[in-house]
Amino acid sequence: MKKYFHIILFFILIPTLYSAQYYNRNTYKTKRHEINFGIGGSSCLTDVGGGDSPENSFFKGNIFGDMPITRSFLFDLNIQSTNFAANFSYLYYLRNKLALRLSLSYAKVSGDDSFSGDFFRMNRGLNFNTHIAEGSGIIEFTLLPEKVGNRYNLKNKFGKKIGGRNQKFGVYVFAGFGGFYYDPWGTNKFLSADTVNVGDGQKYRLRELHTEGQGFEGGPEIFSEEVTGKKHSTYKNFAICIPFGFGIKKAFHSTAGIKLEAGYRFTNTDYLDDVSTVYYDRDKLKEQMTEHAGVDLANIAYIMSGTQTGAQYEYVGYATTYGIDGNPIYPNGATPVSDIGGTNPYRLTRTRTEPGHERGGPKYDDSYMFLTFSVYKKLTNTPKNMRIANSGSKRRIKASF
């Protein structure tokens, strides 16, 4: 009889031990709500800054655009431009591993051509800073739930823990949709060709300077009066972002823990840094800005559109077109040479800041990213009816009288 008793007891205890050891799929029903507070660092991939060497440069190819402009992705980041980020999130668990997350983030991103080792960007000499206020709706999916041990780390007579081990980490991924506000400003200070500081060192909002001739004759077509229906139009302060990324989390007990999260944001704007297309004629910009916004802003726009340190480089090319007389046609300012092999070679001295030359890369929108450390707290809820967590059913308690 005693033998059968032990067998029956064994089969009774097995489900209990199993549920203690492994994650309970229905406990989320009593902890649907969660709040997060996080801080960390931010960075961005834009046209300004980045590229500590020509191999990692944003711009690749020659000044005439014979080769496509490409981006070197994460290799184009500048550690010197790392800034702060802070966020708050509210999560509602729809299922055991699926949650809807509403997030608010505030951060600063920046870039500076002086950090680059690429001649083009160093000679361009631009810089920018902007604060970002972002709101987003995100779906978060748990790949590996964090394991939470029993409250007192109870052990059996053999010294083994009855509950799950506390050191287990959870892993999750997320993606969503959001919008953000930005307003870039730049500092009027840069190094000249002979490394002398130039400029008054003051900060100026770049959007109102129309640095690429936005809304003016000969400027980007998307800001022309024919397209927008408005005169002197420029880019907007609001843009759309698509956040996605992953994170790991560690639970200290069943309702609280910490997270480390890496998130990337694609955007639909190329003006996060106020740089996108080509250089506008500076003299023409000054004239247009004088009529539109006054002499003071016109002078600042003249400088901030491209500081032009004056550094030059020598380009060697070959004429490929011919005139009616059969003679080769060389670019303006080019000098034909005879000491170089090939057909119709020439030398051309440039700064890459002349009107019409690439100031940015319009084929690629800007993006930014966060790396944050946060704490989370699950809020327990008490239903009106008692819920049986394992079955998902409801049981009404009847009075005994």
| pLDDT, tens digit (0-9, with 9 covering 90-100), for 167-176 | 589 999 999 9
pLDDT of residue 285: 94
Domain assignment present for 318: no
Domain assignment present for 212: no
* Per-position b or e across 87-101, b if 16+ CB within 10 A of its CB: bebebebeeebebeb
Helices 295-304 and 282-293 meet at what angle, rounded to 10? 150
Say whether pLDDT at 299 is over 80. yes
156: confidence class by pLDDT, cuts 50, 70, 90: low
Domain assignment present for 176: yes
pLDDT of residue 270: 95
Say whether pLDDT at 32 is over 50. yes
- Average pLDDT in the 113-131 region? 83
How many domains does one find in the chain?
1
130: confidence class by pLDDT, cuts 50, 70, 90: very high
0.85 surpassed by pTM: no
54: confidence class by pLDDT, cuts 50, 70, 90: very low
CATH label of the domain that carries residue 116: 2.40.160.20
The more confidently predicted of residues 10 and 146 is: 146
Element (H, E) at 290: helix 282-293
Boundaries of domain holding 99: 31-183+237-277+365-393
Domain assignment present for 152: yes
Domain assignment present for 369: yes
Domain assignment present for 153: yes
The more confidently predicted of residues 313 and 73 is: 313
Say whether pLDDT at 241 is over 80. yes
Domain assignment present for 175: yes
pLDDT of residue 175: 97
Count other C-beta atoms under 10 Å from residue 213's C-beta: 25
Q: Which residues contact 377 (CB under 8 A, 6 or more apart)?
A: 34, 35, 255, 256
- Average pLDDT in the 262-288 region? 95
Retrieve residue 260's tokens: 């480390």
Domain assignment present for 67: yes
